[in-house]
Amino acid sequence: MKTETVLLVDDDEIFVNVMARALKKRGFIVTTAAGVDEAEALLDQHSFDKALIDLKMEGRSGLALIQSLKQRQPDCCAVMLTGYSSITTAVEAIRLGAHNYLCKPASLKDVLEAFDKQDSTDITIPDNPPSVERVEWEHIQKVLAENNGNISATARALGMHRRTLQRKLLKKPVRQ
């Protein structure tokens, strides 16, 4: 039986150390990277069976790495991990080739289940639609991402005062 290799990409050093140690205890060969550029260099040198990729890192987004990973190693099972979850980023990650999408904090059990759940027929859609507040929050996150995190440009795009937008961004996301 072949030992599976995992590429772990996150700029949170503590999370990387804890998750890498836990995956190694489970028998995986783990390679880590602190950002997209470092991970892309590793893709040229190694072949990976699985990848756990953070969405928001210093520099480029993990979404760029998903796309690059799928072009270079199409059989690699990629899981997007984020503390900034929204329907928009989940859909974009899946569209680019991620097999699953996890919200932080994620345990080793969550990660292993996400790697194993590669069949899109397992996805369940909730019966209750999201609230208006939740939809607003997700739309703000989408426009913010489109403006590369620029608050002033996002406020202009939304037709909202910059301070109002900043107050909305300081609030925690509305539950589903």
Do 42 and 72 lie in one domain? The reply is: yes
Residues with Cβ < 8 Å from 35, sequence gap 6 or more?
Answer: 9, 11, 57, 58, 59, 60
Do 76 and 155 lie in one domain? The reply is: no
Could you read off the pLDDT tens digit of each residue along the chain, which spans 176 residues?
568 999 999 988 888 999 999 999 999 999 999 999 999 999 989 999 999 999 888 888 888 899 899 999 999 999 998 876 677 788 888 888 898 888 877 889 989 988 887 544 444 444 555 677 777 877 888 788 888 889 999 999 999 999 999 888 887 665 55
Tell me the whole-structure pTM to 2 decimals: 0.66
Do 149 and 95 lie in one domain? The reply is: no
SS3 category, 60? coil
Answer whether residue 127 is part of any domain: no
The answer to whether 64 touches 40, Cβ cutoff 8 Å, is: no
Residue 40 maps to which CATH number? 3.40.50.2300
Residues across the chain: 176
Q: Strand 77-82 vs strand 5-9: parallel, antiparallel, or unpaired?
A: unpaired
Do 55 and 80 lie in one domain? The reply is: yes
DSSP state, residue 120: G
Residues with Cβ < 8 Å from 97, sequence gap 6 or more?
Answer: 66, 67, 69, 70, 74, 78
CA 10 vs. chain centroid, Å, equals: 10
Task: Count the domains in the chain.
Answer: 2
Range of the domain at 147: 132-170
Answer whether residue 114 is part of any domain: yes
Q: Strand 77-82 vs strand 100-103: parallel, antiparallel, or unpaired?
A: parallel
Cis peptide before 173 (omega within 30 of 0): no
User: Which residue, 68, 58, 60, is CA-closest to 7?
Assistant: 68
